[in-house]
Each structure stands twice: as C-alpha cells, then as structure tokens.
Structure 1
C-alpha cells in the first residue's frame, strides 16, 4: 500500500494458488494392427499437471474515517503463466471491529 494523501492509497491485493505436483500415469491398451488385423498392446503415458492460478487486484483505497474505507479495483486473472485480459471491477468496504 502506498499513501498518496491522508485519505487515498494505492493498493495491490492478490490471491495465489501455487502449482501442485505433476503426476505421471502409464497404462496399456490394445490397438489393432492395420496390416495383420491382430490386437497388440501399447503403453500410454499421461501427465497430469496441477496448474497455478492467481487473482491480481490493483486498486485505490479511500479512507473515509479512521475505522472505515472503500476500495475500488480491477481484478486480473493469471493462469498457467498467462495473463487473461478480462478485467473484473471490484468494490470492497472495510470496517474495523
């Protein structure tokens, strides 16, 4: 958070889900040989990657009083290393207990 004035601040919120472990599984299937017409075993390997995900929310926070604030921002989505150009407007209200 960077204070611009007594009541206005620039903020950057983020929610991050780190990539998980990659798993590999192998299985055997029967494939028909087109030349002989006989089914032959083939090994198939599949890789399952758990991808990372992040919500990046830059915005402006307006401190109305000492105990309350309103925040405006645009949420960006980052998935699998790529930023998706779909800004989602957000409004948040803060109040201390």
Structure 2
C-alpha cells in the first residue's frame, strides 16, 4: 500500500560558485526557504561542510543562480554531477 507523500516545501534552489577550485570542485547546489539567511549561515560555518572548508581556506563564493523549487529539484540537479554546466560564470551566460 502506498503511503501518501507529504507536500513538498517550495523555496529556492541555488548554485554557489567558489572563486577558486577546492578538491576539484568549484560549485555547491543547495535548497533554502530563505536564501539570504542560508548564505548567512554558510558564511559562519553553520551549513554545508564543503562551504565551511572553503571558509577555512579563505576561498570566497557567491550565489550565481537561483531556481524556484524544492528539495526534489535540488536532488535532481545534484545527481547530474555537472553543476559547472549550470554556472553563468563558468559558461559566460548573461
């Protein structure tokens, strides 16, 4: 018997571009209801371990793209393993 799924919480999926590569990676995809609040937490090492490591190394980063969506969209984009193809800085998309 199928369990009814909980409604998905709608928010924003965001792409962060690091100013330099770290361990062969330069991007982070995340989800938040409040993107600015989430970025505040990332910058204070209260979020992604990857971004905390960037903070510790003095590597700057910015949110460079956003999509309306939910955690399902975040997972779809992460599973593609090609965040650089979505990045306007790496692809010079204007």
Query: Per the shorter chain, which TM-score range?
Result: under 0.3
Q: Normalized against structure 2, the TM-score is what?
A: 0.22
Query: 1 or 2, which has the higher helix percentage?
Result: 2
Q: So what's the TM-score if we normalise by structure 1?
A: 0.21
When Rg is computed on C-alpha atoms for both structures, the one with the higher figure is 1
